């Protein structure tokens, strides 16, 4: 194991601990490992109060919310050697690296994706996007992808390299969101080219303009890690011929104040992505997944989140959806890891750290959305697909069916927004929280 963890109290303490010898932090690692509720399956237990935070709390002005989370109770050691390209091991002992996700979802990440262009649409500026991505990819043993080689392009919502937007407000960590998104696309499709579209702000008009631009400047796979309550019918921006558009189902569960169906996830031609709890297991696959539901944990300044899902109130049922309980658009269509307790490793030098001690554990349906967008790019079928129709007709043997869990918590007043039980409860076959399941290769994409 090459990683040590310790409680994240302050920058001064972080700096001091980073300078300590490995033996000085061993007790903290041992204590945290012993606290794991599910030993041996890569569960990263919460340590104390304020163990995680939403990158973007629900905005009061009706703007759109990004759906990423960051663990604040643990910090990863900076003493990590870069991996050789094509490495088959993770240099960290908790949280998931690129190689873990590729293995868990049986993806042809090493051999596929060349020439595919994936766009990530987010809000505000992230000045260190290029440099931070370089650190992540080198450490994970992934081929370089930067602005100098034009493998990575960073543009504004109009598709121009300048002027880029200003910084996000202090309460909205869209820089963290962008690092999560960039790292997840890289983890799944290291051979892909990436366009990072930075919208002026998190208003609907700005982010939607970014989605429109992404398709116009060459992206055939577009990931959107944000959303808000349903407010109207379909939007033509999310129906671009030959372009696969994914969107996050949200981190607020299947009901309550901010849960239930959300847009753009429930638009007809969007692939709606839910979240799971992904753990290693002693079975044929080597992994197991449940619905992501951390509502029972209240150490995140409130409940620690759960995947969204919904039966739309405004979008008619697409012809390719064949579930019979929900008579409108059902969501989600597909899912991937999003749990705070099985988090993803991300590098971001703008989170108040001292480089190179800038490794964090992130999660949320932001992560699962970009995992799925990049997996579509590996499949390379974007020009022939219409929304999630291919998933609904090719799920058999190509997806891992998730059959356990739900995304509600009546004790917190979070009940399902739909009267259709499978919209909030996993079952054999299709259900709202996880759709048809998680990728097993790219046959359904």
- Tell whether 3 is covered by a domain: no
Handedness of CA 44, 137, 202, 213 (dihedral sign): negative
User: Does the residue 225 lie in any domain?
Assistant: yes
The enclosing domain of 277 has a CATH number of 3.40.50.200
Indicate whether 16 belongs to any domain: no
Q: Is residue 126 within 8 Å of residue 198, measured between CB atoms?
A: yes
Residue 334 lies in a domain: yes
Number of domains in the chain: 1
> Across all residues in the chain, what is the average pLDDT?
90
Structural domain includes residue 325: yes
pTM of the model: 0.92
* Domain residue limits at 420: 49-439
Q: Are 342 and 96 in contact (CB under 8 A)?
A: yes
What are the φ/ψ torsions at residue 439 (nearest 5 degrees)? -60, 135
Q: Compute CA 251 distance to the chain's CA centroid, rounded to the nearest angstrom.
A: 10
Residues 65, 264, 58: CA angle, nearest 5 degrees = 15
Q: What is the pLDDT of residue 258?
A: 87
213 inside domain: yes
Q: Give ∠ CA 301-342-281 in degrees, rounded to 5.
A: 145
Residue of 275, 442, 254 lying closest to 366 (CA atoms): 275
Mean pLDDT in consecutive groups of 10 residues from the start of the chain, 445 residues? 38 34 28 33 90 94 95 86 88 93 98 98 98 97 97 98 97 97 98 98 98 98 97 96 98 93 98 98 96 96 96 97 98 98 97 92 98 98 93 98 97 95 98 98 98
38 domain residue, yes or no: no
pLDDT for 41 equals 66
240 lies in a domain?
A: yes
| pLDDT digits 0-9 by tens, 96-150 | 999 999 999 999 999 999 999 999 999 999 999 999 999 999 999 999 999 999 9
């Amino acid at each position: 194991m090459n990683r040590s963890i310790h409680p994240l109290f302050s920058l001064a303490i972080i700096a001091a601990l980073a300078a300590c010898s490995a033996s000085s932090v061993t007790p903290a690692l041992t204590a945290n490992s012993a606290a794991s509720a599910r030993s041996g399956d890569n569960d990263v237990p919460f340590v104390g109060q304020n163990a995680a935070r939403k990158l973007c709390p629900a905005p009061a002005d009706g703007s759109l919310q990004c759906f990423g989370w960051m663990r604040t109770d643990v910090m990863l050691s900076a003493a990590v050697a870069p991996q050789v390209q094509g490495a088959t091991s993770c240099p960290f002992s908790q949280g998931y690296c690129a190689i873990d996700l590729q293995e868990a979802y049986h993806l042809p990440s090493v051999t596929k994706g060349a020439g595919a262009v994936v766009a990530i649409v987010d809000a505000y500026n992230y000045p260190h996007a290029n440099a931070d991505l370089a650190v992540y990819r080198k450490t994970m043993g992934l081929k370089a992808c930067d602005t100098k080689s034009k493998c990575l392009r960073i543009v504004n919502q109009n598709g121009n390299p300048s002027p880029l937007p200003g910084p996000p407000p202090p309460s909205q960590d869209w820089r963290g969101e962008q690092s999560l998104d960039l790292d997840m696309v890289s983890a799944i499709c290291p051979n892909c080219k990436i366009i990072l579209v930075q919208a002026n702000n998190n208003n609907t008009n700005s982010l939607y303009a970014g989605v429109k631009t992404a398709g116009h400047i060459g992206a055939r796979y577009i990931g959107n890690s944000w959303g808000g309550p349903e407010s109207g019918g379909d939007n033509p921006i999310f129906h671009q011929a030959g372009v696969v558009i994914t969107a996050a189902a949200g981190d607020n569960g299947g009901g309550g104040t901010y849960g239930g169906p959300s847009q753009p996830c429930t638009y007809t031609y969007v692939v709606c992505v839910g979240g799971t709890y992904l753990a290693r297991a002693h079975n044929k696959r080597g992994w197991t997944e449940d619905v992501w539901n951390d509502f029972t944990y209240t150490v995140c300044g409130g409940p620690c989140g759960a995947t969204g899902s919904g039966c739309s109130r405004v979008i008619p049922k697409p012809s390719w959806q064949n579930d019979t309980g929900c008579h409108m658009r059902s969501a989600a269509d597909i899912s991937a890891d999003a749990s705070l307790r099985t988090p993803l490793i991300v590098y971001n030098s703008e989170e108040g750290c001292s480089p190179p001690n800038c490794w964090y554990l992130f999660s949320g349906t932001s992560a699962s959305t970009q995992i799925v967008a990049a997996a579509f790019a590996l499949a390379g079928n974007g020009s022939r697909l219409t929304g999630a129709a291919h998933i609904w007709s090719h799920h058999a043997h190509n997806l891992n069916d998730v059959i356990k869990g739900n995304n509600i918590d009546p004790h917190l007043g979070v009940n399902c927004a739909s009267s259709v039980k499978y919209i909030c409860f996993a079952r054999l076959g299709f259900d709202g929280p996880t759709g048809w399941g998680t990728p097993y290769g790219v046959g359904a994409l």
